[in-house]
Chain A
Amino acid sequence: MPELSIRTENLKKAFGRTQALQDVSFDFSAGLLHGLIGSNGAGKTTTMRLLAGLLKPSSGTINYFSGGHPAAFSDLRPGLAYMPQQASLYPDLSIEEHLEFFRDLYRLEPGEYARRSGELLEITRLAKFRERRAGQLSGGMYKKLGLMCALLRSPSVLLLDEPTNGVDPISRREFWELLYGLAAQKILILVSTAYMDEAERCSRVHLLDAGRLLASGEPRAVLKETGAASFEEIFIKQGERK
């Protein structure tokens, strides 16, 4: 799979009278771990859904690139994986049944499935729980299962909407370890989070506030530019200005 990148220009999305996104231009370059940072209602989920093709922008464009050349969304779609923020798995199906269901939807070869699922179960350390139903998994395990379903087909773009929300600190750290491992495989990862301490874990951050893009770039560069000591400070200052 060639490297994929996504650029948006003056993206706007309104739901009725609510402006969820106002004129945001993102540059999600290939092979990096991007963080979409913002509090609840900042427009993170809307951005994710727009990028995943589940919503249409009110105005502005989303451009997809494959190996540096413009590509149609439909060509990219098979390589795009999305993990919604809300619970979206089937409580009555086990881990293994989820993997098998997504194997069938992605139409994976038996050999590839065996290799891939083995790998994923090992790095998520869920192998011994494969018989357990999703409804009986802990918060962290549940998120990992969602990630496994998304990763099963080796995507080139991975959109994760608040994957660490409501997960205990140890499981959160484990989850980020997993993401580092994936970033090393040259895939474009976009993680949204409301935890400011997680911003520093990303290679690029995009700060969203009330549907507007505050800043984006390398975490340290962004801090230097804004003269803030932490990302929290940037958001607090922004709040005071209003």
Chain B
Amino acid sequence: MPVSSFNFYRAYSVARKEVMHVLRDPFTLVLALGLPVMLVTFFGYAIDYEVKNITLAVSDRDGGPAARRLKELFSSSGYFRLVETGPGGPVGMLDSGRAAAALFIKPDFSKTIQGGGAVETQFVLDGSDNAKAGAVIGYLPGIQRAGQARLAGREIREPFSFETRFLYNPELNSRWFTVPGLAAVIIGLLAILLTALTVAREWENGSMELLLSTPVRPLEIMAGKLAPYGVLVLAGVFFVYLVSRLVFGVPFAGSHFLYLAACLLYVTASLSQGLFISVVTRQQQVAMQLGIISGLLPSLLLSGFIFPVESMPPFFRYFTMLLPPRWFMAAARGITLKGADLGELAVPFLALGLLSAGMLLLALKKFKTDLE
């Protein structure tokens, strides 16, 4: 019976109707093409892991040349802004949040160093902001290393030292790291939202009942719904790509073809997720809310975008394996920054492929069983 088998032409006519809806609804077009670019630009500038302009309260009870040089080292590093206070001042400034760190220089600091001795200097940090404290700690070894020779006035030989170099992102430019991840979050959210609304609208509109009484099959409706939004989201991907290259100067070390393939898999998974939500809720309002929550939270918090997956408790580490954004994040960063090839990214690609196929089947199955 030809009616029950998949007919490409019928799927195409559903897709064409969907295109007409989109073209007549400026909101969808703006959402699909404008929003990703806007969000990536906006948050690309806002999210910066580098901590700068740290107010450092200094209590200098020495006042000698070595203490002066030490203070110069902090201010010339570019990360600190020094505020001199009396001996009791730094604690008050930390308490009130006017300073993030404090430096206490002992009275005989310069004298001890000139005499060839060793002296300890207290450095106090505001531990209530983990991220900031962690970043500030990271700056200290560099300052210490630069200070050894200058303060003592002679070359100091350390028994061993680390010679660090950052591969793939030599300057540790945090935008190179954030922007590709941000793109993943936004593209996923967009794909989920677009399809979450489309089938729900068809139910709300009453047209689903009419559609189902025609020879068109559920699979054809699904394909006809997915294809146009897939194209739309890929157009969004392209614009986001332009912004990250041109505005943020993010390098692209790997293969564009491979990146496109990863995007296709990820977009398919997200579109299917949206379709599933749409089929389950059948209401645009609820579908939209569910779409935002399920599209945004996992990709922001559990994908490795901000918090590394490796440092999560075991349960969450395994749980993230079920999330397409986690794998896309790995693939996207690997391709753009490291120039990784398919062999190196076999696991993320395999996982993305499986998840998107699984998600598609789930949506289809739910769609079919609901109607029968």
Chain A residues close to B by CB (< 8 Å): 49, 52-54, 56, 74-75, 77-78, 80-84, 86-93, 97, 101-102, 104-107, 146, 149
Q: Which residues of B contact A90 (CB under 8 A)?
A: 17, 21, 205, 207
Number of interface residues of B (CB under 8 A): 28
CB-contacts of B1-40 with A (<8 A): 1, 3-4, 7, 9-10, 12-14, 16-17, 20-21, 24-25
Query: Which of B9, B17, B20, B209 is in CB contact (< 8 Å) with A88?
Result: B209
23 CB-based A-B contacts, threshold 8 Å: A53-B213, A54-B209, A54-B212, A78-B3, A82-B210, A84-B209, A84-B210, A86-B206, A86-B209, A88-B206, A88-B210, A90-B17, A90-B21, A92-B20, A92-B21, A92-B24, A93-B21, A101-B13, A104-B9, A104-B13, A105-B211, A105-B214, A149-B210
Contact with A along B219-252 (1 / 0, CB 8 A): 0000000000000000000000000000000000
Q: Which residues of B contact A102 (CB under 8 A)?
A: 214
Which chain B residue shows the least CB distance to A77?
Answer: B3
Query: Which of B1, B4, B215, B372 is in CB contact (< 8 Å) with A105?
Result: B215
CB-contacts of B175-234 with A (<8 A): 205-207, 209-216
Q: Which residues of B contact A92 (CB under 8 A)?
A: 20-21, 24-25
Which chain B residue shows the least CB distance to A80?
Answer: B213
Query: Which of B13, B207, B212 is in CB contact (< 8 Å) with A89?
Result: B207
Tell me, in angstroms, the Cα distance from A102 to B10 when the chains sit together: 10
Which chain A residue shows the least CB distance to B201?
Answer: A90
A77 and B215: CB pair below 8 A? yes
Tell me, in angstroms, the Cα distance from A59 to B25 when the chains sit together: 45
Q: Which residues of B contact A88 (CB under 8 A)?
A: 205-207, 209-210
What 6 A-B pairs come out closest when comparing CB atoms?
A104-B13, A82-B213, A88-B206, A88-B210, A86-B206, A84-B209
Tell me, in angstroms, the Cα distance from A101 to B13 when the chains sit together: 7
B24 to chain A, nearest CB (A): 5
Most chain B beta-carbon contacts within 10 A, residue among A82, A89, A90, A97: A90
Chain B residues close to A by CB (< 8 Å): 1, 3-4, 7, 9-10, 12-14, 16-17, 20-21, 24-25, 205-207, 209-216, 371-372
Which chain A residue shows the least CB distance to B13?
Answer: A104
Tell me, in angstroms, the Cα distance from A167 to B4 when the chains sit together: 36
Tell me, in angstroms, the Cα distance from A49 to B208 when the chains sit together: 13
With contacts A84-B209, A88-B207 known, is A106 near B17, CB below 8 A? no
With contacts A82-B213, A105-B10 known, is A97 near B20, CB below 8 A? yes
Which chain B residue shows the least CB distance to A152?
Answer: B214
A142 to chain B, nearest CB (A): 12
B213 and A54: CB pair below 8 A? yes
B367 to chain A, nearest CB (A): 14
Which chain B residue shows the least CB distance to A102?
Answer: B214
Which chain A residue shows the least CB distance to B17?
Answer: A101
Tell me, in angstroms, the Cα distance from A105 to B212 when the chains sit together: 11
A87 and B214: CB pair below 8 A? no
Q: Which residues of A contact B371 (CB under 8 A)?
A: 54
A105 and B213: CB pair below 8 A? no
Tell me, in angstroms, the Cα distance from A188 to B327 when the chains sit together: 56
Q: Which residues of B contact A83 (CB under 8 A)?
A: 210
Known: A90-B21, A105-B216. 18 other contacts (CB 8 A): A54-B212, A78-B215, A84-B209, A84-B213, A87-B205, A88-B205, A88-B207, A88-B209, A88-B210, A89-B210, A90-B207, A93-B17, A102-B214, A104-B12, A105-B10, A105-B214, A107-B10, A146-B210
A56 and B372: CB pair below 8 A? yes
Tell me, in angstroms, the Cα distance from A85 to B56 when the chains sit together: 73
Q: Which residues of A contact B10 (CB under 8 A)?
A: 104-105, 107
Tell me, in angstroms, the Cα distance from A75 to B3 when the chains sit together: 9
With contacts A56-B372, A88-B210, A90-B17 known, is A106 near B215, CB below 8 A? yes
A105 to chain B, nearest CB (A): 5
With contacts A86-B206, A104-B9 known, is A93 near B20, CB below 8 A? yes
A69 to chain B, nearest CB (A): 18
Tell me, in angstroms, the Cα distance from A106 to B211 when the chains sit together: 11
